[in-house]
Amino acid sequence: NAGVTQTPKFRVLKTGQSMTLLCAQDMNHEYMYWYRQDPGMGLRLIHYSVGEGTTAKGEVPDGYNVSRLKKQNFLLGLESAAPSQTSVYFCASSYSKVGPYEQYFGPGTRLTVT
Amino acid sequence: AQSVAQPEDQVNVAEGNPLTVKCTYSVSGNPYLFWYVQYPNRGLQFLLKYITGDNLVKGSYGFEAEFNKSQTSFHLKKPSALVSDSALYFCAVRDRDTGFQKLVFGTGTRLLVSP
């Protein structure tokens, strides 16, 4: 099992450019999440998905869009990148959204917007 | 609203000494509590979790955590630290009584174990 994988690992964008981050999991998990990690702020939830074809907003959704066309994939899009979106992005998945199920994290994507 | 506090930005300990990384939480109901570890340039790895029952939870790599309901704490401990334990540690909480609630993370504590 590869677990949770993310592509790309690093990316540099200019302000206004767009990009898509891809997350894939091979654990047959229903629930998937996108977080951003910024120094001194822990992890903040951007969007999440409770199943194929469904998505919902998290804590900091502005400027991001997501899609879950296949159960194993969860895409995070930036339509017009801003310097404030410079961060490390983590994807995670879990068996269930409720209950004591831990989340499994990918290795992260380091994004710099200049 | 849920919240987690990790009062120490960094904890320094000598190899072989016991370590404690502190975490306090706030939820309206009863908590599920988690500890994760992040090594440099890596994603978060699950260490252990508290569900219910025994207040002392044992996890991976010799770590354990003690749940204290009266003090709303869930401190991470290890009897003998290793240099390889140096990493960033996150505490997280979810309210188990109110349906779906997001997993709320603390801001992290950097553990530095010196040889």
Query: A8: cis peptide before it, omega within 30°?
Result: yes
Mean pLDDT of A41-53: 91
From first CA to last CA, the distance across chain A in angstroms is 36
Mapped onto helix, strand or coil, the DSSP state of residue A57 is: strand
**Which of A92, A99, A107 is opposite residue B42, by nearest beta carbon?**
A107
Do A34 and A46 contact (CB within 8 A), yes or no?
yes
Inter-chain residue contact B99 with A98, CB threshold 8 Å: yes
State yes or no: pLDDT of B111 exceeds 80.
yes
Do A6 and A106 contact (CB within 8 A), yes or no?
yes
Inter-chain residue contact A40 with B90, CB threshold 8 Å: no
Q: Specify the pLDDT at position B98.
A: 65
Q: Specify the pLDDT at position A40.
A: 82
- Residue A97: name the closest of B81, B108, B62, B94 by CA: B94
Residue B49 distance to chain A (closest CA, Å): 8
Q: Specify the pLDDT at position B99.
A: 58
Amino acid sitting at position A33: Y
Mutation target to probe the A interface, by most A beta carbons within 10 A, among B39, B100, B101, B109 is B100
Mean pLDDT of B47-56: 92
Q: pLDDT digits over B4-14, tens only?
A: 999 999 999 99
